[in-house]
Amino acid sequence: MERAHRNGRFQPDARPRAIVVKLLRFKDKETILQRARYLKGSHIFINEDFSEAVRQKREELIPEMKAARERGNVAYLRYDRLIVHPPRPTTRSTTQRHSNNEGKETGRRRQDTRSTRATLGASTSDS
């Protein structure tokens, strides 16, 4: 973290002030934003700090985004653009994948690597 500060003046009866953080590495920002979803329901919010122009553009795009989602598409905002695409086709569930392996060993296989090497070594020396 390079720098952090609170916005506005302290007022005893007001809600808590926002904290602005400047990070050194972009990867740190991405990690924090990805992990922010674990804070759902905790009354703690982590958002990017956009300029006023970008905030207005995003606000204008929100109704379009909601309409696209109601049509069944995947829609999200990236910076000041709306990204919309059809949902991914559903893949077979894990139960279907495992039902094809009936009778086969599941889980990790334990293997003695020394015996495998010895077998491979014997077959190459016979050639």
pLDDT of residue 7: 84
**For residues 52 and 41, is the Cβ–Cβ distance under 8 A?**
no
Kindly compute the dihedral angle of the four CA atoms of residues 17, 80, 22, 33, in this order, to the nearest 10 degrees: 80
Q: Rounded CA gap, 99 and 101, in Å?
A: 5
Whether the pLDDT of residue 120 is over 50: the answer is: no
**Token pair recorded at residue 98:** 């495992």
Report yes or no on whether pTM surpasses 0.75: no
